[in-house]
């Protein structure tokens, strides 16, 4: 590591949601992200959930459009979209829809061998649920 580099130890994404209870039901209860801490107070509600290993994937507009077209058939996601690796993309999408998410597109096989399903959380966040193909 050079003097100009910074050692990042955690990627933490913070979502400000309109319906906190619906977000908790989706991310903690339905998706199964374990609760790490509850720092709620009279000033506001906050839960820290463990989402496993984090990576930051950068797309240019052309790649974002290609992935949206592949998964949904048209450009629909915003500047931020979560991609969550799950054991079974189809089952995860069904579970999340039952918990309040909206189905955006059914699961599809990608050219790189993954199975991807797209849902929208109650707050509108686009979630790609992906199951890696056999490598």
- For the stretch 105-122, pLDDT in tens is 999 999 999 999 999 999
Per-residue confidence (pLDDT) for residue 4, from 0 to 100: 76
Is the pLDDT score of 55 beyond 70? yes
Helices (H), 27-112: 61-71, 89-98
- Cβ proximity of 127 and 118 under 8 Å: yes
Distance separating alpha carbons of residues 134 and 1, to the nearest angstrom: 34
Average pLDDT of the chain? 93
Minimal CA–CA distance to 77: which of 62, 88, 67? 67
CA–CA dist 89, 117 (Å, integer): 6
- Taking the domains of the chain in order of start, what are their residue ranges? 20-131
CATH class, range 20-131: alpha beta
């Amino acid at each position: 590591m050079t003097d100009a580099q910074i050692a990042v130890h955690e990627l933490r994404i913070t979502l400000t949601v309109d319906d906190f209870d619906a977000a908790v039901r989706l991310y903690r209860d339905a998706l199964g992200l374990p609760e790490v801490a509850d720092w709620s107070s009279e000033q506001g509600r906050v839960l820290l959930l463990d989402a496993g290993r984090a990576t930051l994937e950068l797309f240019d507009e052309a790649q974002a459009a290609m992935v949206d077209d592949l998964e949904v058939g048209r450009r629909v996601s915003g500047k931020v979209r979560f991609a969550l690796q799950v054991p079974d993309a189809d089952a995860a999408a069904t579970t999340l829809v039952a918990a309040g998410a909206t189905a955006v597109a059914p699961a599809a096989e990608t050219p790189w061998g993954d199975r991807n399903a797209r849902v929208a959380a109650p707050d509108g966040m686009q979630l790609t649920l992906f199951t890696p193909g056999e490598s």
